[in-house]
Amino acid sequence: MRNFIETIPATGDGYCRVCDHPYSKLLPDEEKAHRVYHRRYLRAVDGVGAPVPRYVRQEMTHEGLRKMRHGETLEERVEGAELWLRARHHDHLEQVLRDGSERLDVRAFFTRMEEDGLEGRFADDVARELRRRYSDNWTGY
């Protein structure tokens, strides 16, 4: 339990610092569910990296949005968009661990997101640069 981070001592609630799975150390069924998830997590991320913890994704999202909104140059705004995109990709990786759905690399993830529409998420010049860097559908316009 050295990887357990307790958030509410009275109830034993907390989460695993490795797999980010929430559970109560006082409830045997939750501990068992954590062990099952943790093993699956370690198999899923072996050699390919793991989704960063939720709080890190939140920090990445906030910093990415700040840079997109307040960056003085296109490069700074694209850097913010890439940080935001990486946070969303890590959300995708967590979903893959939860439900076993198809794992997409960043390029395929962006292309799928692009198909749903980028309008409203990024400024036109930022979206154009992201398409150039990440899209499987980019035609060089």
The Cα–Cα gap between 31 and 24 comes to 7
Residue 139 lies in a domain: no
Residue 31 lies in a domain: yes
pLDDT tens digits, residue range 77-111?
A: 999 999 999 899 888 888 877 777 777 778 888 88
The Cα–Cα gap between 90 and 139 comes to 27
The parent domain of residue 31 ranges over 4-45
> Are 63 and 124 within one domain?
yes
**Percentage of residues in the chain having pLDDT higher than 70:** 89
> Are 39 and 85 within one domain?
no
Q: What is the mean pLDDT of residues 62-85?
A: 95
Q: How confident is the model at residue 41 (pLDDT cuts 50, 70, 90)?
A: confident
Lowest mean pLDDT among 26-35, 66-75, 130-139: 130-139
> Are 23 and 71 within one domain?
no
> Are 68 and 125 within one domain?
yes
**0.85 cut: is pTM over it?**
no
Q: What is the mean pLDDT of residues 46-65?
A: 83
> Are 93 and 58 within one domain?
yes
> Are 68 and 35 within one domain?
no
> Are 18 and 75 within one domain?
no
Q: Write down the pLDDT at residue 113.
A: 81
Q: What is the mean pLDDT of residues 117-122?
A: 76
Domain count, the chain: 2
Q: Write down the pLDDT at residue 1.
A: 54
Q: Write down the pLDDT at residue 82.
A: 93
> Are 108 and 58 within one domain?
yes
Residue 30 lies in a domain: yes
> Are 29 and 96 within one domain?
no
> Are 85 and 118 within one domain?
yes
What is the crossing angle of helices 54-70 and 74-99, to 10°?
160
